[in-house]
Amino acid sequence: MSLSVTSHWEGPKTTTWKPAKGTNGDHTNGAKEVAKEASKVPVARFLPPGFTTEKFQDFASRLQAIVSRENLFVVTEDTALEDGDYLTIDCQTHDMHFLYEREEFVGSALVHPRNVSEVQEIVRLCNEFVMPVWSISRGHNIGYGGAAPRVSGSLVMHMGTHMNKILEVDAENCFCLVEPGVTFLQMQEYLIKHNLIDKVWIDAPELGFGSMIGNALDRGVGFTPYGDHWMNHCGMEIVLANGELVRTGMGAMSSPEGRKQAKAGVPPQDQTPNECWQLFNYGFGPYNDGIFSQSNNGIVTKMGMWMMPNPHGYTPFMVTYEKDSDLPAVIDIIRPLRVNMVLQNAASLRHVALDAAHYHPRTEYTDDTFDVPLTEEQLDAAAKKLDLGRWIYMGAVYGPEPVRKALLEVTKKEMCKVPGSRWFLLEDRKEEFSTLHSRAETMMGIPNWDELRWLKHWIPNCTFLSFSPISKVDGQSAWKQYQMAKNRFAEAKLDFFGIFSIGLREMHNVICIVYNREDAAMRKRVQWLVRTLIQDCADNGWGEFRTHVGLMDQIADTYDFNGHALMKLNETIKNALDPKGILAPGKSGVWPKSYDRSKWALGQDYIK
């Protein structure tokens, strides 16, 4: 396994700045030199628990000695917290889609490690000072908190600025090995540049500039048959809370070359990995990968991902359904097709409001103010205007022509059994910015900016929050969820947006709560809505699989079997691996013993 390196963005250049003497030992040594350097460190706008300005400046001066001054950015009172939009601004200081106030979750500083050794040194320094550190890959977890740390004043470790290399693409065995900063767009460009597209495809979510590792760790999905990114990861390299480096699965066994390199003094992270690392997930003994997904138990520095072999044939299609009440019948048709893999990729059934927002601003459909949701009549009119239905299914078939022909025949026959349904192929939809044409690219694994056109112009300062309960694939369950959500949206005076995404055995009801982030009153309604929906879903046994940083405590609390036994297990693992509680305290509702959960948890008013 070769470690050929490519990087599409080199990040900030280094300088000749050198650390002050005495800054590499205990922080009581070289006090004068450290104090001199600390005086050059700006005053942080927010400090973490237990920190004074003097302690932070001492910490920051030590940190500069590790990464160099230009790779540490302190968030001060003068720092502009610019939101930008999903195309133009790489928002790293806060959540650009904030649910509370813009300053609710903001770090004290951003640090940009250049390599694994620096990550280890930073973690050890954080242990010494008991500085909470929140690691991000690119910070583009849009709808879920972005780069924002759960504990304000945390050190935000941006892994993607320098650690953005594609270490390997094996087109024969269909896998890649990447660093945290590698994006889906970067991988797509790499495959094109190296003439590998005819052999392998990637699977991308809507946002191509997101991190492949970050998305997989948060269990994000895409739209090819390889759409479950966490399921298709294979092998990780992780820095633990004590700075120790581990490789999981087959990577835990050294390669013959790696053993020689170890004897020659090559650092573990630079040793040639086992050739089976990205081929077999499990290795030997307990399978540990899961405790690093959506967790605060370690910092991932490398990950393998399985890639989809080019199917050498692909046909996208769309089916529209005329009536709102068609939903249960459609879901019950999809279930057997999906579980038998006639429907090969994630089955996505979209509510028409999402497509309406894709094509036009809200004013195209109503003259009402933003606190008057679209009526049923207006939604029907929007569907007619766009030549769509109240529900829109978009999928694709993959493989040689005879395979695709057979799959399309069965799919069309079954999915068009609902009266009033209509079938479209790509050539049938000629409108500008066609949603089918946009989704056709993402269903090939090609990142597409047009997928989020609906964020550009639906309402002023348009942003959204994703809420995604899990249920069985069942028409009545879908209808109950939809009616419950729609009623709550009406109470909150907000437009409903939703997608039912059907996996092999379960259904994600991806509800998008769209709002004006500059409207404080609207944000209050959104807070009430999402917290009420969390409890409504929990009352029905539907739990969320992923969430915004500000909602993690309430959702974690809904997983309550046997006196919250799972949380107790997670806390036991957390406290064993991270006794000082420095890694992302509060992530996924898991608080280390050094934090009083009763004082830090959010949403307790909604916990029964």
Give the CATH number of the domain where residue 83 resides: 3.30.43.10
Residue 404's domain spans which residues? 314-549
Q: Could you give the number of structural domains in the chain?
A: 4
Distance CA 333, CA 337 (A): 7
Query: How far from each other are the two terminal CA atoms of the chain, in whole angstroms?
Result: 53
Boundary-marking domain end, from 309, 328, 343: 309
Q: Which DSSP helix (H) or strand (E) runs through 573? A: helix 561-577
On whether both 321 and 274 belong to a single domain, the answer is no
Rounded Cα gap, residues 587 and 556, in angstroms: 10
DSSP state of 19: P
Please check whether residue 423 lies inside any domain of the structure. Answer: yes
| pLDDT band, very low/low/confident/very high, at 341 (cuts 50, 70, 90) | very high
Give every strand in the sheet of 133-136, ordered side by side: 72-74, 109-111, 155-158, 133-136
Q: What pLDDT score was predicted for residue 449?
A: 77
* Residue 593, domain CATH: 1.10.45.10
- Band of residue 23 on the pLDDT scale cut at 50, 70, 90: very low
- On whether residue 91 sits in a domain, the answer given is yes
- 99, 128, 158 - which closes a domain: 158
When the pLDDT of each residue in the chain is averaged and rounded to a whole number, the result is: 91
Q: Are residues 488 and 572 in the same domain?
A: no
**Residue 235 pLDDT greater than 50, yes or no:** yes
Integer angstrom CA distances of residue 213 from 222, 300, 333:
13, 8, 34
The SS3 call for residue 485 is: helix
Specify the pLDDT at position 370.
92
Verify that 384 and 456 share a domain, yes or no.
Answer: yes
Does residue 269 sit in the same domain as residue 347?
A: no
Q: Quick one: 325 and 293 in the same domain?
A: no
In a domain, 215, yes or no: yes
Percent of the chain with pLDDT over 90: 84
pLDDT digits (tens, 9 = 90+) for 83-99: 877 666 678 899 988 99
Element (H, E) at 175: strand 175-178
Residue 21 lies in a domain: no
Whether 58 has a pLDDT exceeding 90, the answer reads: yes
How big is the chain, counted in residues?
608
Residue among 521, 511, 502 at smallest CA distance from 551: 511
> Is residue 16 included in any domain, yes or no?
no
Specify the residue for token string 């049923």. Answer: 376
Tokens found for residue 196: 């590998």
Spell out the residues 6+ positions from residue 596 whose beta carbon is closer than 8 angstroms to its own: none
CA 199: distance to chain centroid? 27
d(CA 502, CA 596): 39
- Same domain, yes or no: 415 and 503: yes
Lowest mean pLDDT among 19-28, 48-57, 426-435: 19-28
Q: Are residues 113 and 175 in the same domain?
A: no
Specify if 276 maps to a domain. yes
Residue 209 near residue 91 (C-beta atoms within 8 A) = no
Name the residue among 18, 118, 21 with its Cα closest to residue 67.
Answer: 118
Burial 531-567 (b: 16+ CB within 10 A, else e): bebbebbbeeebbbebbbbbbbbbbbbbeeeeebeeb
Residue 423 half-sphere exposure, CB side, CA atoms within 13 Å? 13
The confidence score (pLDDT) of residue 14 equals: 29
Greater pLDDT, 470 or 27: 470
Both 88 and 57 in one domain: the answer is: yes
- Same domain? 560 vs 522: no
Residue 326 CB partners (closer than 8 Å, separation 6+) = 389, 390, 391, 418, 420, 421
Q: Are residues 450 and 338 in the same domain?
A: yes
- Whether 63 and 196 share a structural domain: no
The CATH number linked to 299 is: 3.30.465.10
Domain boundary among 309, 325, 350: 309
Residue type, 315: T
- Asked whether residue 562 falls in the same domain as residue 532, the answer is no
Q: Label the pairing between strands 391-398 and 506-516.
A: unpaired
For residue 435, pLDDT beyond 70: yes
- 45: in domain: no
Does residue 475 form part of some domain?
yes
Averaged pLDDT for residues 27-46: 63
